[in-house]
Structure 1
């Protein structure tokens, strides 16, 4: 599954166009490698996403083509969530 589609279906990022933009700006990594929006994600992969002052690291638990809101959280588990202090 493409990383932009995974981010949207898992509801980590609300819109696929935004997920595509974030990935194409180099702010998404899969297993430590910078990912493009078309990069493939598999179960067990670790995804790092940088949102401004927040860095979110999640592990892919399940891949689904579509989800209901309450099922979306089952697609990933949060490894870490860190915030950068403004200087």
Structure 2
């Protein structure tokens, strides 16, 4: 499954177009490598996503074409969530 679609179906990012923009900006890593929106993801892959000043790392547990809101959180396992400095502080 494409990375942007997985992010939308799993509800890590609400819209697929937004997931594509985030990936195109180089803010998503797949197994330590910067990933494009079209990159294929599979069970066991580790995703690191930068949301502003927050880094979220998850491991993909399952892949489904469609998921209800209640089931979406079961598609991944949160490994860590950390705040990072934006680099603008003096």
Question: Equivalent residues in 2 for 1:17-56 (5 A)?
Answer: 17-56=17-56
Higher CA-based Rg: 2
- Length-normalised TM-score, structure 1: 0.97
Deviations 1:6-55 (A, max 9, x none): 00000000000000000011100100000000000000000000011000
Structure 2 stretches of 5 or more lacking a match? none
Deviations 1:57-85 (A, max 9, x none): 00000000000000000000000000124
Structure 1 stretches of 5 or more lacking a match? none
RMSD, aligned CA: 0.9
- Length-normalised TM-score, structure 2: 0.93
